Amino acid sequence: MIDHVSVAVGDLTRAAAFYDAAFAPIGLTRLVTRERSVGYGKAYPEFWINLREGYRATPGDPGAHICLRARDEAAVSAFHAAALAQGGEDSGAPGPRQAAMTTYFGAFVLDLDRNKIEVVTFPKAG
């Protein structure tokens, strides 16, 4: 249904370094680098960071978030740890959660520009 998403960043070089590290555990890599944007994905750039001159994040919870899937709980935890190591802010530690229709394992972070990113996996019933 959704082809791609993008988020605004104030410093493209700094944001790209953050996402290079945070996305590695979930298998997303930098596929496109342009003067004002960087695209991440597996085979096609599905997640973009776009430079916005003078962009300043607002304090508090941004309200919206983008959720990406991971292969397993270890990848979710590794994403969270990598994001925090790069200066991201914890917005929900890795752990089980209840969604509207099922349970899942997920983690939330705020990136360096306070974009909220969630990574989830849906464990198979045991």
Cα dihedral 25, 27, 31, 33 in deg (nearest 10)? -20
Q: Is residue 41's pLDDT more than 90?
A: yes
Task: Give CATH for domain 5-52+64-121.
Answer: 3.10.180.10
In this structure, of 5-9, 33-37, 97-101, the range with the lowest mean pLDDT score is 97-101
63, pLDDT greater than 90: no
Q: What angle do CA 35, 38, 39 make, to 5 degrees?
A: 145
Overall pTM surpassing 0.75 (yes/no): yes
- The count of C-alpha atoms lying within 13 angstroms of the C-alpha of 9, restricted to the half-sphere facing its C-beta, is 24
Whether 125 has a pLDDT exceeding 80, the answer reads: no
pLDDT, average across residues 97-113: 94
Mean pLDDT, range 13-20, rounded to an integer: 98
Encode pLDDT of 78-95 as tens digits.
Answer: 999 999 999 999 999 999
Helices 12-23, 73-85: axis angle to 10 degrees equals: 150
